[in-house]
Amino acid sequence: MTFLRRTEIKEGTALNTGETKGDGKPVQSSHVEMVELVLPNDTNQLGNLLGGRLMHWIDISAAMAATRHSNHVCVTAAVDEISFLHPIKLGELVVLRASVNRAFNTSMEVGVKVFSENPLTGERKHSNSAYLTFVSIDSIGKPVTVIPVLPESQDEVRRFEQALFRREQRLKHREETRRIWSEVTSRQG
């Protein structure tokens, strides 16, 4: 596996965002491609893949990418909205491509792109995209810092830059949720 110096990131992409300094890993070194066959137990009464099963596979593929990047156990901290663009049928293949878009301090944004594939015709359809936040933890569950991600291709640089915006939105949402909960619990208490 090749480890690149952080200074090799294209100028302008390395913002001061709480990311750790030092060596990093290219996106491709932790990329995961996972393929599942939709079996009867994965479907509803209409023979369509259950949304919950797909969410499980999304979570697993993303966890593998985060763990490969950080070389620590990683837990799911947040999952952004997931939309289901079209049904996936019994007997189709589900191809999940997961990669770490950006690492911050102890957390990482992982993007998962999901395709359905008809194995008889080879036809592929993009069915979902999801963003998940994973936190790297030690043996007692304490968050530990992760090394930076080094984007190389144009798409990787675009995802790296956009991940910062999404993180800001998530953290604002988390603050707002905490504020509402503390108001509700103080009213009840």
Ligand X SMILES: CC(C)(COP(=O)(O)OP(=O)(O)OC[C@H]1O[C@@H](n2cnc3c(N)ncnc32)[C@H](O)[C@@H]1OP(=O)(O)O)[C@@H](O)C(=O)NCCC(=O)NCCS
Residues found near ligand X in the complex (CB under 6 A): 18, 75-78, 104-107, 133, 135, 137, 141, 143, 170-171, 174
Report the residue number, 55 or 77, with the smaller CB distance to ligand X: 77
Alpha carbon 18 to chain centroid, angstroms: 19
Report the residue number, 50 or 78, with the smaller CB distance to ligand X: 78
CA distance 66 to 99: 8
Burial class (CB in 10 A: 0-12, 13-18, 19+), 16: exposed
| Least distance (Å) between residue 74 CB and ligand X | 9
* Beta pairing class for 149-150 and 25-26: parallel
| Least distance (Å) between residue 156 CB and ligand X | 19
Report the residue number, 60 or 93, with the smaller CB distance to ligand X: 60
Report the residue number, 48 or 145, with the smaller CB distance to ligand X: 145
Report the residue number, 29 or 105, with the smaller CB distance to ligand X: 105
CA distance 59 to 173: 21
| Least distance (Å) between residue 18 CB and ligand X | 5
First to last CA, the chain: 54
3-state helix, strand, coil split of the chain in percent (to 5) is 35, 30, 35
| Least distance (Å) between residue 47 CB and ligand X | 29
| Least distance (Å) between residue 57 CB and ligand X | 15
* All residues at 6 or more sequence positions from 16 whose CB lies less than 8 Å from its CB, including other chains: none
CA distance 74 to 149: 16
